[in-house]
Amino acid sequence: MDKITLTGFTLIELLIVIAIMGILGSIAYPSYQNYMLEARRGDAKTELIKAQLKQTSLHILNPNYSDDESALGMANSDYYTFTVTSAGTTTYSMQAVAKGLQLSDTGCTTLTIDQDSNQTPASCW
């Protein structure tokens, strides 16, 4: 009968694999966090643009722009609070303010849009 030889990993080989995984994880995790911040910001921009379209359709039938967030379909999320900051007969302004984990989105914590599609800060849009 032949002898069966068992081979395995040495402790050094196992530690090298763990170290490599740690290095890869420390590189990948910040990229993932940045991706998530940008994706959530994209969701906020989409909500503001949808509200802008609703403002336009409501203004056709009414003399004033609406200041009612629920009529505009603006629903707060875990990451943004949506508000109509001003609404009149010819102008309006709406904003999304970051909260929670989204506060790490440096420079893009408050997104605004108005009746002329002026979007600030421009670098975040």
Task: Say if 94 falls within a structural domain.
Answer: yes
Q: Which domain holds residue 83?
A: 11-124
User: Which of 52, 88, 48 is closest to 67 using CA atoms?
Assistant: 88
Number of domains in the chain: 1
Task: Say if 90 falls within a structural domain.
Answer: yes
pLDDT tens sequence across 61-101: 889 999 999 999 999 999 999 999 999 999 999 999 999 99
Confidence band, pLDDT 50/70/90 cuts, at residue 8: confident
Asked if pLDDT for residue 112 goes beyond 80, the answer is yes
User: Residues 72, 75, 80, 83: is their CA dihedral positive or negative?
Assistant: positive
Cα torsion 70, 46, 53, 116 to 10°: value is: 110
Confidence band, pLDDT 50/70/90 cuts, at residue 9: confident
